[in-house]
Each structure stands twice: as structure tokens, then as C-alpha cells.
Chain A
Amino acid sequence: MAAFAMVLAAVGLSAATPAVSKGRTFDGHPDLSGIWQSMSTANWDLQDHPAQAGPFFQLGAVGATPSGQGVVEGGEVPYKPDALKQKQENFKNRWKDDPEVKCYMAGIPRANYMPYPFQIVQTPQSILMTYEYASANRVINMSKTPVEASVDTWMGTANGHWEGDTLVVDNTGFNDESWFDRAGDFHSDQLHVLERFTLIDSDHMNYEATIEDSQVFTRPWKISLPLYRNIAKNAQLTEFKCVEFAEELLYGDVRRKAK
């Protein structure tokens, strides 16, 4: 109850001071450092989706897709007609073609709402976001000199700045290989992602990503979801190196068969 009262007090004071009870970094910005995870089912499908059986009956309920509400503002992803056909094709082949199946890096925004945690290490010059899934990471350049993407990458090239108490991250330089979810939502190498991280209170933040890709979508669109801090006393990021779990799938055809 005491903690609850403190949150209320903080909200009440929000006109004068930001509603952050955890405090701030030494340079005065909201402290986003810590281990975060989504509770959404966005990684299964960004849009509203019912529960579905998984691809292998042997896995029963364990392999099934949970139902969930979408995180796309307005509900629909505004695909161009040809791109929509591609998405539907991707959906059909999702258990084979989703880069997550192959343990490939998730890209942005997907890395932030996978069912694995990620950790933020916040410094004035750069912010490290390191992801449990596939040991992926990215560094957001916070200096006044923007970094230009010199090559296309999975995790993109990120330049950040603070707009009041919101961390705004501008991402470019993506390849066209990552997906947004297990339902086949995709993009081209023209992807531009503008992210906004805003603390709601010390243990919750709102995550928004505006997605722009004129080759695939008719207009920019936005996802929005909360992220939750892992408040366990002994919380630490553990390791999920998944290459070994994908090798039979990727290279099984050229393994020496037992005679």
C-alpha cells in the first residue's frame, strides 16, 4: 500500500515534477536502465489474433499460439496491395520462413517485444540495449553528431535524443530480412523506425514505434505497448544463444546420414 501511495503522490505532483519515483540519472534524464520485457503477444502477431494450434501436434498446448489484442494503432497494418499478398504468403510459410525460427537477429522494433527480456545500460553519450534472444545488441548514439548508416544491418543504425522525458530513437540502415512478428509482417530495406520510450512510473514504460516504409506501406503506422521492468532482486539477463537449436533445420540436408 505504501508503494501505491507513493505512486499516487508522484502522479499528483506531475505538474511540478515528473512522475518518476525511481529517480533520474546523474545528468537529469529519466533512468531507463534495467531489464525490461513486454507482456503483449505482439511477437506472435502485431494485430488482433485468436489462439491457434501450433505446427506440431506433438507439442500440444505448449506449441500453440496464445490469443491476444493487437498493438497497432487503428488496428490494421496499411500494406500496399502487392505487399499484402506477400504478407499472406509469409503467414502461410511462417514456421519455415520467420527469421526467428532460424535464430536470426530480430531487428527493430521486434527485438523489444519478443518473449525474452532486454537490458538498457544508459550513459550520456550512448545507450546500450542488449537482448537476451540471440545475444543481439544495439548502441544508440546520443551525441550531437548523428551516426550515418554505412551498411545495412539487422539491428539498424540508431541516433537518439531526449524530448523532455521521452527517449526518441531514430533508426535507419536496416536490411530487408527481419520480420515484425511470427505472422509474416515484413518490411523492405527502406524501413525507418522512430521509437519513443517514456517511463510511466519507475517500473513501467510506454514503448511506441512509428514505422515508415514507402515500398511496403501506404502510410506510416504506429505500434504502442507497455514494457515491464523485471523487479526480481536477483534479476539479470541470462543467455539465449539459439544457433544450436536451428542448425539441424538449417544444415540437416548436408549432414552425413547414418548408414
Chain B
Amino acid sequence: MKAQSWLLASSFAVGSLAFGQSAFEAPKTPWGDPDLQGVYTTDDLNGVPMQRDAKYGTRRFLTEQELAERAKEVKAERTTIDTGVRPTTGFWALVKDGGVDAAAAPAQWIEYARHATELTSLVVDPPNGRIPPLTPEGEKRRAAQPKYYDMRPASWEDLSTYDRCITRGVTGSFFPSIYGNGSQIFQMPGEVAIRYEMIHETRIIPLDGRPHVSAGLRSYMGDPRGHFEGNTLVVETTNFIGGKVDVGGVPYSEDLKLTERFTRVAPDIIDYKITIDDPQTFTAPWTVEFPIRHEPGYQIFEYACHEGNHAMHNRLSAARALDRQEAAKAAQADSK
């Protein structure tokens, strides 16, 4: 969650993604590893679509004029949220309420960008910024996945692991979202830990070269192993539970392999790059890249998602009321 910090927004220079061209020297920990530690947020990526609009072609960044347009949109969203109204532009235009007269979330729950970001999409490879076609099996899995706006779930099993407050997985915990976009990196000799605000996840990443656990031990957050390549932390994660958590709109399989690269490119910015490789689901690997930013005043709060998941009981209870209504109608029709 933000803490009164967007006033500092103007200090964020346009063109922050022109990485690697400055004389920036990455700091080191006292034991000599590149120092990635700190609290970061992806709030500024709100409004950047996962997949690129065809009109941008293979262009990764907005022009100056396009960026100015997005900055206007960001400001307008910020204003509506600050006045307690849920915005209807940008990312928010995609948030529908399933046809009922209720908002998905009240305005004060919602995070927004404090700085306009010049990315045209989160996906950077393939070069057109589009997720590669699914395999036939991936298509099947996508069609069968729980619908967020299912108004008549028979049980919690018809809802996503996010609705159920189980997990959003590695990508869902980190990719920009409506809230909970904070992360914190800790380092010790031989170990990196990443804590995510979203559903209070933690990943402990050993750097000691140990092998992955066996296929018999699978988990939602997977089994990460890390090493440094120059100033970049490279993390490979496998051993996922398949078929339950989505990436790019489709539940991934247990063969998912994630390769992440964390590189500090400015005192307050880490370039994050992740390659999603799941041959059971996607016809080719694809890569997402975006900056995560340290923002003074940003604090990570406890997201007691499951503990406060009144929505689950309420939704199921409402669905049962609809069931009863339908049964009553049917009984009435029968008696005629």
C-alpha cells in the first residue's frame, strides 16, 4: 500500500528504462554479492497491458507524445481514486462487475500509478509483445478454468486460487495488480529471500547450488534456485503444482519453469525479467520485463486475505439463494 507518497512522483525521470547506458555502478553487499535489497512496488505498472496493442507493432516504448497521454490518464485515475470513485479508464475499464450493481472493490482498496510508465506492454518477447499461441491442451485448460464472474459457483472449487486466498503463484504475486504490489528483497551470504505483499508469500532462494527437490515435492510457489551472473540474480523455479494457478490467462502445467533475472539499474530501480517456459501450455517460451521501483514511504502491509475472506461465504450463500429461487420457479411451473 502506498503511504502519501505520490507527491514525490516528479522525481521519477522519464526514460527510466534506458538501462545500462549510464555509468551507474551497482552496489555490493559486504560479502560481495550485487545488492538488490529493499522494498519495491510495481504500482506504476498499473495501466500497462500484459499484451501489446497491435498498433505498436514491435515497439516496446511509448513516444513522448503517447507518454504524455498516458500521464494524463494516470493523473485522472489518481484524482478519481483520491475522491473515492472507482476509475473507468485504462486498466479499470477492463474490470467488470458481472452485471450486478456492485463494485469489484471500493475505491480506497485500489492502487494506482504514481508515475506514467513508457512500456507498451509487459510482454517483451516474442517481439510483438503477444503471448504465443496455446497448445491444444493449454486451450482446453483455459476453457475449463474457473470464471471470476461466475455468479452461481457450486462451491469454492469453481473459483480461482486468488478468490480462495490460497495463492496467486510466483507471477501473480509480482505482476502489477489492483493492490498488494509491494515486494521486499533480503540477502544473506548464500541466500536471497523475497517477500510479496500479495497474500503474504515468501520465497527463500538458496544460492548454494543444491539440486531441486524431487518431482514428489511440488508446491504453489515452486522450488527456486539462484545464482549471480555478473550483477544479475538469476532464479530458476520448478516443481510447481500444475493446473490450478494461471499465468497469462491460463492455468500452467506442472512442467512450468520460470527463469527470473533481477538487475539493479539505478539506485531505486531493479529491472525484472521473467521467462515463462511451459511446453504443455504454450507453443513457445515468452518473456515479461518491467522495472520495480523503490518508493520512499511505500510500506508493505499484512494482507490477511483468507482470514478476511467474507466474500467467499457471501458469494456462495448468494449462489444458493439463486438456486432456491430457480427451484421455486421450477416448482411453480410444474404445479401449473
Q: Which residues of A contact B (CB under 8 A)?
A: 25-27, 33, 103-105, 119, 121-123, 125-126, 128, 130, 134-137, 139, 150-151, 153-155, 177, 234, 236-239, 241, 243-244, 247, 250-251, 254-256
- Chain B nearest CB from A78 CB (Å) reads 28
- Chain A nearest CB from B313 CB (Å) reads 6
- Contact for A255 among B186, B213, B316, CB less than 8 A: B316
B209 within 8 A of A: no
- Contact for A121 among B30, B188, B220, B302, CB less than 8 A: B188
Q: How far is the CA of A121 from the CA of B31 in the complex (A)?
A: 15
Chain A residues contacting B219 (CB-CB under 8 Å) are: 238-239, 241
Q: How far is the CA of A258 from the CA of B201 in the complex (A)?
A: 35
B204→A241 contact, CB < 8 A: no
B31→A256 contact, CB < 8 A: no
Chain A residues contacting B316 (CB-CB under 8 Å) are: 251, 254-255
Most A Cβ at <10 Å: residue of B206, B299, B306, B319: B306
Q: How far is the CA of A241 from the CA of B154 in the complex (A)?
A: 23
A128→B304 contact, CB < 8 A: no
- Given A121-B188, A137-B195, 20 more contacts at CB 8 Å? A26-B31, A26-B189, A119-B204, A121-B186, A121-B191, A122-B188, A128-B186, A128-B202, A130-B202, A137-B200, A137-B202, A139-B184, A139-B195, A150-B301, A154-B307, A239-B221, A250-B312, A255-B154, A256-B154, A256-B320
Stretch of B115-123, B127-135, B160-168 contacting A (4+ beta carbons < 8 Å): B160-168
A250→B313 contact, CB < 8 A: yes
Chain A residues contacting B191 (CB-CB under 8 Å) are: 33, 121
Chain B residues contacting A136 (CB-CB under 8 Å) are: 200
A236→B204 contact, CB < 8 A: yes
- Contact for A135 among B154, B201, B320, B323, CB less than 8 A: B201
A-B CB contact pairs (8 Å), 6 listed:
A27-B30, A126-B186, A128-B184, A128-B195, A247-B156, A254-B313
State which size class the interface on B falls in.
Answer: 35 or more
Q: How far is the CA of A29 from the CA of B174 in the complex (A)?
A: 32
Chain A residues contacting B164 (CB-CB under 8 Å) are: 243-244, 247
Write the chain B residue with the least CB distance to A256: B154
Task: Evaluate whether A121 and B193 lie within 8 angstroms (CB atoms) in the complex, with A33-B188, A254-B320 already known.
Answer: yes
Q: How far is the CA of A247 from the CA of B158 in the complex (A)?
A: 12
Chain B residues contacting A241 (CB-CB under 8 Å) are: 166-167, 219-220
Write the chain B residue with the least CB distance to A31: B188
- Chain B nearest CB from A212 CB (Å) reads 21
Q: How far is the CA of A172 from the CA of B320 in the complex (A)?
A: 41
Chain B residues contacting A26 (CB-CB under 8 Å) are: 30-31, 189
Proximity bits, B204-227, A CB within 8 Å = 1, else 0 = 101000100100010111000000
Chain A residues contacting B302 (CB-CB under 8 Å) are: 153-155
Chain B residues contacting A126 (CB-CB under 8 Å) are: 184, 186
A243→B221 contact, CB < 8 A: no
A121→B204 contact, CB < 8 A: yes
- Chain A nearest CB from B270 CB (Å) reads 17
Chain A residues contacting B184 (CB-CB under 8 Å) are: 126, 128, 139
- Chain A nearest CB from B286 CB (Å) reads 26
Chain B residues contacting A236 (CB-CB under 8 Å) are: 204, 206, 213
Q: How far is the CA of A135 from the CA of B165 in the complex (A)?
A: 11
A154→B304 contact, CB < 8 A: yes
B307→A130 contact, CB < 8 A: no
Write the chain B residue with the least CB distance to A130: B202
Chain B residues contacting A239 (CB-CB under 8 Å) are: 219-221
B51 within 8 A of A: no
B317 within 8 A of A: yes
Proximity bits, B301-336, A CB within 8 Å = 1, else 0 = 110101100001100110110010000000000000
Write the chain A residue with the least CB distance to B38: A125
- Chain A nearest CB from B307 CB (Å) reads 5
B155 within 8 A of A: yes
Task: Evaluate whether A256 and B306 lie within 8 angstroms (CB atoms) in the complex, with A119-B204, A236-B204, A251-B156 already known.
Answer: no
Chain A residues contacting B188 (CB-CB under 8 Å) are: 25, 33, 121-123
B166→A243 contact, CB < 8 A: yes
Chain B residues contacting A244 (CB-CB under 8 Å) are: 164, 166
Write the chain B residue with the least CB distance to A126: B186
- Chain B nearest CB from A54 CB (Å) reads 24
List residues of B (159-199) whose CB comes within 8 Å of A's CBs: 164-167, 184, 186-189, 191, 193, 195, 199
Q: How far is the CA of A123 from the CA of B187 in the complex (A)?
A: 7
